[in-house]
Structure 1
């Protein structure tokens, strides 16, 4: 990324306090906290790709909620509160503990509830990082923000991994190397380059709308590669998330619908 910044960007490093603060937010929340919580959650037994994606699809709802406090001129109406509640209810759809005859609290830690909670923490970290980055609005190229955020995030994640005693060597086998290459180049370098560019143009809520595609893609890929199934509870959770977002963004959706109808009428 730093090589790409050196070739394409007019500034390769932050200079002001606001710009360094933006890098800190990106490295801590968008890179380190998001990926650490996400990978830890998906590693838990019982958390399928589709179920995790439903929790991730809460991102627009949570981002809108954070935006009411972080971004200026945003207030949460009663319907907006209802929309946020829909999101919280939906997250419980994919985190319900499996039935067990044991009567202690360890059933929660042995179920997919903890995994879904960790994925929810990842989603909240990303949503908060998005709104804070939009609020800071640094005069810095998106590629530069990404490069420094990824450097800081990688250092934080590796330090945490060492502190937890995790293995630091990647197995020299085709599958781990292919996964590492895909996550490094496609999902991280290219993905976050697009994300920071769109965040600068569209804002945190609109750019996080891509999260609504995640359950569909995850369900198909999970079924194709991992043999996972998409149950009715997970599908219902996604529908509740979508309903919550419609409540939160009802005015914007109404404007776009009116514009679409008016454009169609003029075309006729």
Structure 2
């Protein structure tokens, strides 16, 4: 139960902080070139998380010692964090936030595909497929994109799809690699790789530090995506990845549009439509369907039946369980 509570807290923290990234990124992109913004975000997150890991992790558990540790670090820094966020920030510049949320929400759907190829212990059941479908439908209702814009092919959607794919592959490869490092230590080692890759891509595309406008709002946006949606959210998300698995951990990305919509309503005065409320309920229903996989329904019904006394029919002396009958539940 304690582990379940910790996983729930990690899910909520990651979902809330990642959800705020869309608002902060939209604000920050007015002052930073996109790839440089990502690179500076990882610089800030790396410094904060390395300092945190150095203080909280024993020295003998901080250094990588096997090829699996190295593989997990590279999967974290290059794929799950670096390329995923670089493609997300660049792709957002070519399309609307609503379309970006829809395309990026393909991540939880793509994850089981790669997990089926690499992870023997993570296979999606039919109930899981139904829950995933409900979650994706709920995301579509929340963001409610213009169908003409959504289905119009374009470079932005291709870039965002690439980000969703690299994120899914990265999370599965982290689980596949295993290793002895804690999620915090592995992420602390991975962030400098993400920062270096983003700086390289920024330089390669011709971005310049001279293009940055150092406005107070720029500092606030960078602090949020670097410290909160960076260091803190990564501790929660990658910890959840280790305990809950890639498929369940990536359900966080279904919660992100909900948080973004509620944040826009609370902080920016944006309206939340009736359709969006229906989307919230649909996403919750998807989570409930997936979560119900851990519940033994038949055992619960048998336990419930045991609480009701047998009823004797005085007309023929037969005995019937109080749960049976038109309003009850038949025995197995």
Q: TM-score range by the shorter chain?
A: 0.7 to 0.9
CA RMSD of aligned residues (A): 4.0
Match in the other structure for 1:25: 75
Contact 2:171 2:246 in 1 (8 A): yes
Higher Rg: 2
Contact 1:55 1:116 in 2 (8 A): yes
Structure-2 separation of matches of 1:206 and 1:197 = 12
Match in the other structure for 1:4: 52
* Pair 263,172 (structure 1): closer, same or farther in 2 beyond 3 Å: farther
Match in the other structure for 1:148: 189
Q: How many residues in Structure 1 have an aligned counterpart in Structure 2?
A: 252
Shift of 1:172: 1.7
Match in the other structure for 1:211: 253
Tell whether 2:234 aligns with 1:186.
no
After the TM superposition, which of the residue ranges 190-199 and 66-75 deviates more from structure 2?
A: 66-75
Selected match of 1:131 from 163, 166, 172: 172
Match in the other structure for 1:55: 103
- What does 1:41-120 correspond to in 2, within 5 Å? 41-48=91-98, 51-72=99-120, 94=145, 96-98=147-149, 108-109=153-154, 114-120=155-161
TM-score (normalised: structure 1): 0.74
Unpaired runs of 5+ residues, structure 1, are 100-106
Structure-2 separation of matches of 1:34 and 1:59 = 10
Structure-2 separation of matches of 1:60 and 1:52 = 15
Contact 1:19 1:140 in 2 (8 A): yes
Tell whether 2:237 aligns with 1:195.
yes
Structure-2 separation of matches of 1:148 and 1:122 = 21
Match in the other structure for 2:292: 253
Unpaired runs of 5+ residues, structure 2, are 1-48, 309-332
* Pair 142,267 (structure 1): closer, same or farther in 2 beyond 3 Å: farther
TM-score (normalised: structure 2): 0.61
Match in the other structure for 1:103: none
